[in-house]
Amino acid sequence: MTRKILIDIIKLRTAMIEDSKMVLPEAYFYPSINNNGLKTIRELAAFRFTCRKCEDAPCINVCPADALEKDENGVVVRYTNLCVSCKSCVTICPFGTMMTDFFKHHRNKDLLYDLNDEKEMEEFIMACPEGTATFTYEDESPDKNIYSLNEKVLIKDCLYITEKQ
Ligand code: SF4
Ligand code: SF4
């Protein structure tokens, strides 16, 4: 059985609201879907699960750098080589999908964990706000709002179902 990380995005959002100055650890995992440049797990999860997938997406329309587009599944993708971190998309999104720290180009190496590495998985969990990231041997279970992001990462979030899904 594969040991996985379960990231509870619902708890994470609450923790960030309670402490707006919180510095969150970041994690990446390759190979992964939509991976152009260095993408954090939270950004991939937000676009895939939290995003309402607006038909005429305001975030894409407002982006001055043409850095956002939808992939073949309707999931918004941010091209890190084009993004200028203006955060216009964060401001205009009516659903608060994105967290402003997705757009930091400067990354603190001490807060960045590679989830392909078992030891770094453990360190990532220790660095996350309490209860927001845990180890699990479970699989995806939509009845508990738990979805698979990749083979090692499960995301807990309130999935917004669109007609395309
Ligand atoms: S505006 Fe927000 S909810 Fe709509 S597609 Fe963009 S990120 Fe998703
Ligand atoms: S933060 Fe990046 S992706 Fe968002 S609107 Fe600005 S340039 Fe576009």
- Domain at 87, CATH number: 3.30.70.20
Determine the distance separating the centroid of ligand 2 and the alpha carbon of 85, expressed in angstroms.
5
Our count of domains for the chain comes to 1
The answer as to whether 135 is a domain residue is yes
Q: What is the mean pLDDT of residues 1-30?
A: 82
Q: What is the CA radius of gyration of the chain?
A: 15
Residues with CB under 6 A from ligand 1: 51-54, 57-59, 76, 93, 95, 97
Residue with CA nearest ligand 2 atom 4: 89
The answer as to whether 67 is a domain residue is yes
Mean pLDDT check: name the lowest of 31-40, 108-117, 131-140: 31-40
Residues with Cβ within 8 Å of 28's Cβ and at least 6 positions away in sequence, in order, are 38, 39, 40, 41, 112, 113, 114, 115
Determine the distance separating the centroid of ligand 1 and the alpha carbon of 84, expressed in angstroms.
18
The answer as to whether 164 is a domain residue is no
Domain carrying residue 27: 4-156
Q: What is the mean pLDDT of residues 2-16?
A: 88
The answer as to whether 19 is a domain residue is yes
The yes-or-no verdict on residue 52 having pLDDT over 90 is yes
Q: Cα 127 to chain center, whole Å?
A: 16
What is the pLDDT, as a whole number, of residue 18?
A: 85
What is the pLDDT, as a whole number, of residue 158?
A: 84
Question: Structure pTM?
Answer: 0.73
What is the pLDDT, as a whole number, of residue 163?
A: 59
Helix ranges (DSSP H) in 19-66: 41-45, 58-62
Determine the distance separating the centroid of ligand 1 and the alpha carbon of 27, expressed in angstroms.
22
The answer as to whether 58 is a domain residue is yes
The answer as to whether 137 is a domain residue is yes
Residue with CA nearest ligand 2 atom 8: 63
The yes-or-no verdict on residue 108 having pLDDT over 70 is no
The yes-or-no verdict on residue 106 having pLDDT over 80 is no
